[in-house]
Amino acid sequence: MNIFPVHRKSLATFLALTILTLVAGLSFSTMHQTNAQAASTIIKQVSSDPYTNDTSQHQTQVEPDTLSFGRIVVSAFQSGRFFAGGGSSNIGWATSLNAGKTWKRGFLPGITVYAGGTYARESDPVVAYVVIWVKVRTNQRQGSNNVRITRQSGRNLPKVWPHR
């Protein structure tokens, strides 16, 4: 009686199942570690309020507007919110070109008196993407309100934001 071929089939089946189980276990372990690493870096501070004028509440950045398209993320927000009457000391921005792994940040230059400009305060930043990057903001000067729109076509971020 020749039972060797039966043992060979059983042994081959056992080895195949063992290898599949090990590969599946290693794949699950690697996937779990990758997901855990990604989840641990979700929250990242990308800016802080640098202003010190006594008419505003500092260390505040409020009313953000953020938009992403592919790997690009653009955010604009009020920095140094005024105690009364709304508005802020300036508008801050933060951009990422690699899905939030690294960020560049700054503040719009030459707009408010706190950043070398003539307006008393700024408010309501908005970021949008419709074939071109568009940023809309309102400026408040004593007795007047203005709306300014900045746009940049092409693949680059707006030139008014010094994204270096």
Q: What gap in Å lies between CA 161 and CA 113, rounded to an integer?
A: 18
Total domains in the fold of the chain: 2
Q: Are 147 and 72 members of one domain?
A: yes
Asked if 90 contacts 116 with a C-beta cutoff of 8 angstroms, the reply is no
Q: In the beta sheet, which residues pair with residue 145?
A: 140
The pTM score is 0.59
Q: Are 138 and 101 members of one domain?
A: yes
Q: Are 85 and 137 members of one domain?
A: yes
Q: Are 33 and 62 members of one domain?
A: no
Q: What gap in Å lies between CA 60 and CA 1, rounded to an integer?
A: 87
The vertex-31 CA angle with 17 and 26, nearest 5°, equals: 30
Half-sphere exposure of 108 (CA within 13 A, CB side): 31
User: So what's the pLDDT on residue 103?
Assistant: 92
Q: Are 36 and 7 members of one domain?
A: yes
Q: Are 64 and 33 members of one domain?
A: no
Contacts of 150 (CB under 8 A, 6+ apart): 134, 135, 158, 160
User: So what's the pLDDT on residue 90?
Assistant: 93
Q: What gap in Å lies between CA 33 and CA 29, rounded to an integer?
A: 6
Strands 72-82 and 56-69: antiparallel
The 10s digit of each residue's pLDDT in 23-80 is 666 666 555 555 555 555 578 889 999 999 999 998 889 989 898 888 889 999 999 9
